[in-house]
Amino acid sequence: MLTVDVEDWNQLLDRRVGVQRPPSTAFRAQMHAVFGALDELGAHATFFVLGTTAADHPHLVAEIAERGHEIACHGYSHERVYQQAPAQFRADVERSLRIIERIASVRPRGYRAPIFSINRDSLWAYEILEELGFRYDASRCVTPWVPNPISPPAVAPYRIGLSRGRELWELPVASCTVAKHALPLGGASCWRFLPSGLHVRLLRNGKQPYHLLYVHPYECDPEPLRANLPSRSTRAEVRFARRRECWRNFRRQTTLARLQAIGEHFEFTTCSDALAILASTPKTEVRPTEAVPARAVVAV
C-alpha cells in the first residue's frame, strides 16, 4: 500500500515560526514530482490530504482525483490528536472533510492522524472516526515522537472492535523486529538510513500480504528545501528553520530511487483496493488488545 501525506512543508514551517504568507510555489513542483514517479511506476496511491493544504492548493487536490488516485483525510490543522479534546478532534476532521468533498467531490473513507498521534490517551478517536463514516485508519507507526504509544507495535492490518458491535480497520505502517526492537520500514524519512538492498530484504522477509509505505511531497522535491524566512524573523526562528532544512534535506534525493527499487519487488496499490481483499479474508483470531479496551481486535 503506497500512501502520500499531502502537506506543504513551507506552509507548516511558517506556522511553526508564526509567519503568515501566501501559499508556497514549491509545493506544485513537489506534487508533480510525486505524480511523475507514480506514472513511471504505473501505480496508484492513497493521498492523505491535509485540510489547510487543500484549501491553499485546491487544483492540485482535484488533480489527485483526476489521475485516479485515492483521496483520504489527514485532518485539517495538523495538530496532534492526543493534544485535542474529542470535540476539537471531531470539528477538525469534519472541517477537512468539507473542504475535500467540495474540491474533489469524494468522501474519504480513510484517515491518518498528523504525526501518527493516536495513542493510548486518545483511543476515543477511533469511535469518532467510525461515526464520521471512515472505514479505516492508518495512524499506527513505530515512531519515537508519540508518547504513551499503543503497544505492542502492529505488524499487519487488523480490525478494531468498537462499541455496539462496530468495527474500524487499522492499516499500520510497515515495520519489523530486530533484536527485540521495532524498526520502522514504511516511511521515507527512515529510508535515508537503510541501504536499499537491506530495506527490500526486510520487507520481503516480513511475510505480510501487505506492507504500508508513506512519503511526503517535500521528500520528492527536485530542489533542496529552503525556508526563506522574512527578514523580521527572530534568531531563534531562523535557527529552528535551519535545523529543519538540514534534517529534511539529508539524503532526501534517495526517496524516488528507493520507490523504484521497492517497485521491482512489489506491486503498489491503494489502501482501499488492498482493504477490499483483506475484508474478504475470514476472521482467524480474536485476541485482547490495548488499542480499544472495550472489546478486542480481530487479526487477519
Residue by residue, DSSP assigns 127-145 as: HHHHHTT--EE------TT
> Cβ distance 242 to 229 under 8 Å?
no
Read off the pLDDT of each residue in 120-126 and give the average, rounded to a whole number: 96
Q: What is the pTM of this model?
A: 0.90
What is the sign, positive or negative, of the torsion defined by CA atoms of 121, 125, 126, 128? positive
Q: Tell me which residue has cell 529534511.
A: 248
pLDDT of residue 290 exceeding 80, the answer is no
Q: Listing from the earlier edge strand, what are the strands of the sheet with 167-170? A: 213-215, 2-6, 46-49, 70-73, 110-111, 136-137, 167-170, 158-161, 296-299, 285-288
State percent of the chain over pLDDT 70.
93
Least confident of 13-22, 44-53, 62-71: 13-22
Least confident of 79-93, 122-136, 156-170: 156-170
**What average pLDDT does the chain have?**
88
> Cβ distance 169 to 157 under 8 Å?
yes
pLDDT of residue 296 exceeding 60, the answer is no
Separation CA 226–CA 113 (nearest Å):
26
Q: Report the pLDDT value the prediction gives residue 22, as an integer from 0 to 100.
A: 76
Separation CA 242–CA 13 (nearest Å):
11
Backbone angles phi, psi at 47, to 5 degrees: -105, 110
Highest-confidence segment of 32-36, 155-159, 286-290? 32-36
Higher pLDDT, 9 or 124: 124
Q: Report the pLDDT value the prediction gives residue 249, as an integer from 0 to 100.
A: 77
What's the full length of the chain, in residues? 300
Q: What's 238's DSSP letter?
A: H
Q: With H, G, I as helix, E, B as strand and everything else as coil, classify residue 108.
A: coil
Q: Tell me which residue has cell 491503494.
A: 270
Higher pLDDT, 250 or 91: 91
pLDDT of residue 13 exceeding 90, the answer is no
> Cβ distance 202 to 190 under 8 Å?
no
Read off the pLDDT of each residue in 184-200 and give the average, rounded to a whole number: 90
Q: Report the pLDDT value the prediction gives residue 65, as an integer from 0 to 100.
A: 96
Least confident of 125-134, 166-175, 220-229: 220-229
pLDDT of residue 57 exceeding 60, the answer is yes
Higher pLDDT, 142 or 177: 142
Separation CA 57–CA 25 (nearest Å):
10
Residue 285 pLDDT grade (very low, low, confident, very high; cuts 50, 70, 90): very low
Separation CA 232–CA 292 (nearest Å):
47
State percent of the chain over pLDDT 90.
63
Read off the pLDDT of each residue in 152-177 and give the average, rounded to a whole number: 90
Q: Report the pLDDT value the prediction gives residue 283, as an integer from 0 to 100.
A: 61
pLDDT of residue 294 exceeding 50, the answer is no
Peptide bond preceding 152 in cis form (omega within 30 of 0) = yes
Q: Report the pLDDT value the prediction gives residue 266, as an integer from 0 to 100.
A: 94
Residue 155: CB atoms within 10 Å: 19
